[in-house]
Structure formats: C-alpha cells, structure tokens
Amino acid sequence: MASPAASSVITALPETTDPLKIYTTIASLRSYRHPLLSTKSLGFVPTMGALHAGHLSLIRTAAKENDSVAVSIFVNPAQFAPTEDLAVYPRTLHTDVALLESLNAEFSADSTTRGRIEALFLPSVAEMYPHGIPLEENAQRGAFVTVQPLAAKLEGITRPHFFRGVATVVAKLFNIVQPDIAYFGQKDVQQSIILKRMVKDLHFPVQIRVCPTGREVDGLAMSSRNVYLGERRRAIAPVLYQALRASEDEYRRLAAQGGTVDAKAVLAKGLELLQPGKDVPFEIEYFSLADLQELEELGTVDPKKGAVLSAAVRMSPVEEGQGPVRLIDNIILEAEE
C-alpha cells in the first residue's frame, strides 16, 4: 500500500474545495470520533482498498442511513498466509481517495443522503499491530480474536489463519472507530456470520449490516482480486454464480413440492455446471449447503429455516506471469414465512 503522510491528519487532493480528512493514527481518529459519540450516528465501511463498485454501494448505503460515514483502508497482514498474495495485493490509494472524494460530491448534491464521508482511516501496520505481525502464525505476538468453530469451516478449511486475522483486525477497528453500524457485503457471507458472532459474544455496541453482493453484468461477484484473472479466466469465472443459481432453482423446485428438501439433489444440480475445462482448469474447494447460524452442512433443508449455498474455486494460471486466483460466492436461501 502506498505510504501515507507522516502527520496524523493529512489532506488528500488539496485542489478540491472540501477535501477528505484522512487520519493515520488511532489517537487522531479518536479525536475526531469522541465529540460526536452522543450527537451523530456513524456508519463504518472497513476495506482493504482497491475500491470497486461493490465498496461504493456499501458507502452509499451507510451515507443514507447515518449522519456521518467513516471508511478504512488497511491491507491486513494477519489474514494472509506466508504463501498468499500480500506482497502483490492491489494497492490503488490515489484512485481510492479520488473515488471517495467523488462520492462526497455526489452526497452533497443528493438531498436524500443524510451523511457524507467525514473520515478516512489509513493506519500503518505498526499502528495496528504494535508487536509486529509476521505472517507465520506461530511467530506472532499480541492479542488475537478467534471465533470457533465457525472459523474452521468452509473458507477456514483451506485458509485456517484467515478468520483469526479478520476477526482480530475488525475488533481493533470497531474499538478505534466506535461505529453505530458497520457495513459488509454478502459475498463474504462466512465473514459476516463470524463477525456477528464476535460482536454478540464480545458485547460490541455495533450493528452488522450485510448488503447484497455487488456483481458484474454477467453475474461475477465483484472483488479486488478479479484484476488478477486475465481475459481467459475472466470469461469462465461467471460459471461459479451460474452453478449456484442452478442449485437455487433446483431448491425452489423441490421446496414447492412441500416438506424438506434433499441437499444432495440441490448441490448435484449446480455441480453439473461447475465442470473444469481443459483450457481454463480450476479446482472446486467446496460447494456447500449449510445452515445460517453454525454453517453445519445439511442433509436436508427445512424451507422454514432457510440455508446458505456457498462455493469456492481455485482457478489455475493459464498465461505466463499469472498466479492462482480463488473465487468465492454464495446465495442465501431465505426462510419461508
């Protein structure tokens, strides 16, 4: 990530008449937040930067529902394993700041929007992890948050370090920013379930708001990592969502017959579509139908309780210079009333 200025409050794009305020230290961010605790509601959108339309949609929702909005950009080392893509994770700070400035101009012109972005938090790794944060988990020192057994399922099977890092950094951010509502996208559904459990168990006075997944016109879930796909893999990538939709359709068909629904039949319909090709090979890491609270795999689905369809694939490199790319996606099967 591009290095922020050394001062605790810096101004981005000084040519604008109403610049975005950027805070790089915890103390400076708290000095902004404390006077507002009893007078203004604060919506918070934590990100790792490389902002796309999905992020902007979250910020727009936060601005409509709150008096003010805070956004953070922090590429969190604790959720990367030593073999993962921390060093090359997309960092587009100047573009990100310009997008946030444009959003504030949009909010000023829209009478239906309550708030605007009043703070962009850009902490350093040293600020967030005073004891350092080596990627090897057994070498890490300090306080960390784990949410078990949720963190060991689905994504946690192939990335056992991941949700420990996510829960830890979000707990830190909630403690620093003290938002009333925090906004997350449904694409990371397991993350949302884990963070809701963390907030409940640790008594954070924060509401978690999960917003619909931002999608490209062909259905691919928006992700900062999509830039890694390249043309050939990008053309194939929407098959993941298509497979989930096929399983959803089968679930609806079976549920309409009454009674519980066989999970194996639902998953089989999607897996018919999710077949790796020779030109663009990929590995299915999981294709899951689980309950919405504990993420336990289901044998049958009670339509009165609902469930979550989720999947992950790892797409292999197909051109020189590429690395593998993981895609995740999900569809919530809402409980019938």
List of domains in the chain: 9-211 (3.40.50.620), 224-333 (3.30.1300.10)
CB 323 within 8 A of CB 236: no
With CA atoms as reference, report the closest residue to 146 among 109, 195, 179, 183.
Answer: 195
CB atoms within 10 A of CB 231: 8
The CA-based dihedral angle spanning residues 31, 35, 39, 42, taken in that order and rounded to the nearest 10 degrees: 10
Active-site residue, selected from the candidate residues 34, 55, 131, 203: 55
Q: Specify the residue for token string 């902004």.
A: 32
CB atoms within 10 A of CB 259: 10
Question: Is 55 one of the annotated active-site residues of the chain?
Answer: yes
Q: pTM higher than 0.85, yes or no?
A: yes
Q: What are 334's two structure tokens? A: 């809402």
Q: What per-residue confidence (pLDDT) applies to 4?
A: 33
CB 190 within 8 A of CB 150: yes
CA distance 289 to 260: 14
With CA atoms as reference, report the closest residue to 43 among 207, 192, 239, 167.
Answer: 207
- Residue 88 to residues 80, 91, 227, 266, Cα–Cα distance (Å): 12, 8, 11, 37
CA distance 62 to 72: 13
Per-residue pLDDT of the chain (337 residues; tens, 9 = 90+): 333 333 344 444 434 447 899 999 999 999 999 998 888 999 999 999 999 999 999 999 999 999 999 999 999 999 999 988 899 899 999 999 999 999 999 999 999 999 999 999 999 999 999 999 999 999 999 999 999 999 999 999 999 999 999 999 999 999 999 999 999 999 999 999 999 999 999 999 999 999 999 999 999 999 999 999 999 999 999 999 999 999 999 999 999 999 999 999 999 999 999 987 778 899 999 999 999 999 999 999 999 999 999 999 999 999 888 999 999 999 999 998 7
Residues 60, 62, 63, 69: is their CA dihedral positive or negative? negative
213: left (phi over 0), alpha (psi -120 to 50) or beta: beta
CB 213 within 8 A of CB 54: yes
CA distance 322 to 75: 21
